[in-house]
Chains A and B, each alone.
Chain A
Amino acid sequence: RKEVEQDPGPFNVPEGATVAFNCTYSNSASQSFFWYRQDCRKEPKLLMSVYSSGNEDGRFTAQLNRASQYISLLIRDSKLSDSATYLCVVNGFTGNQFYFGTGTSLTVIP
């Protein structure tokens, strides 16, 4: 079983739409969770950390469900510039290794 699993998409949504991604993880002892964004031919960059209480940054909301072992990312009022691949990242058994999901591709259409 993979450490982290994501729906690869692609998600094609119109501007202004709300879109949500989920990511499941296998290690119940994981403590750190992140969403990264990767643009085509670029390196990944941190979008936001995911806290137990959930967190919001502008149009982006991240949530953690420990009981079901998944994290989610909600994007409201999608912009063209949101088009990218979104990667969820979870730390591993020792706490020092981090594992990436396969990424979810999002394209926002005018």
Chain B
Amino acid sequence: GAVVSQHPSRVICKSGTSVKIECRSLDFQATTMFWYRQFPKKSLMLMATSNEGSKATYEQGVEKDKFLINHASLTLSTLTVTSAHPEDSSFYICSARGGVAGRPYNEQFFGPGTRLTVL
């Protein structure tokens, strides 16, 4: 139980285009979803926190107009990288948190990640 999926797993796009990444909790309802970015050999950097039905809370230094987050339902959050540039190339991981029976309340369940390459 508590599976999180991400789609696509890998995407290559041209500079200036927009890319949408989906994060789904498959067998539980995620009250909160988190979006992270991970650079090679570095840890996860929290980008934003989103609660279903409300605006996302962005971390300092993360442009909300560039990284659009929509958390339309308890099982789906999307991250749209608008007008992508090569420096946006990275590994994006989402996680979801919800009331999963038998698991710690604050445990986050991670998706497998999306590798974005902007040419």
Which residues of A come within 8 Å of B, CB atoms?
Answer: 32, 34, 42-46, 49, 87, 89, 91, 94, 96-103
Contacts and interface: CB of A to CB of B under 8 A. Distances in A.
A101 B32 contact: no
A32 B106 contact: yes
B49 A101 contact: no
Contacts of B98: none
Contacts of A45: 110
Given A43-B112, A96-B57, A87 B43 contact: yes
Contacts of A102: 42-43
Contacts of A96: 32, 49, 57
30 contacts: A32-B106, A34-B104, A34-B107, A42-B112, A43-B93, A43-B110, A43-B111, A44-B44, A44-B93, A44-B110, A45-B110, A46-B104, A46-B107, A49-B106, A87-B43, A87-B44, A91-B106, A96-B32, A97-B34, A97-B49, A97-B59, A98-B34, A98-B46, A98-B106, A100-B36, A100-B43, A100-B44, A101-B43, A102-B42, A103-B43
Contacts of A87: 43-44
Interface residues on B, range: 20 to 34
Contacts of B46: 97-100
Among A43, A98, A100, max chain B CB count under 10 A is at: A43
Contacts of B42: 102
Nearest to B2: A46
A91 B49 CA distance: 12
Nearest to A49: B104
Interface in B1-47: 32, 34, 36, 42-46
Contact of B107 (A42, A49, A94, A101): A49
Contacts of A100: 36, 43-46
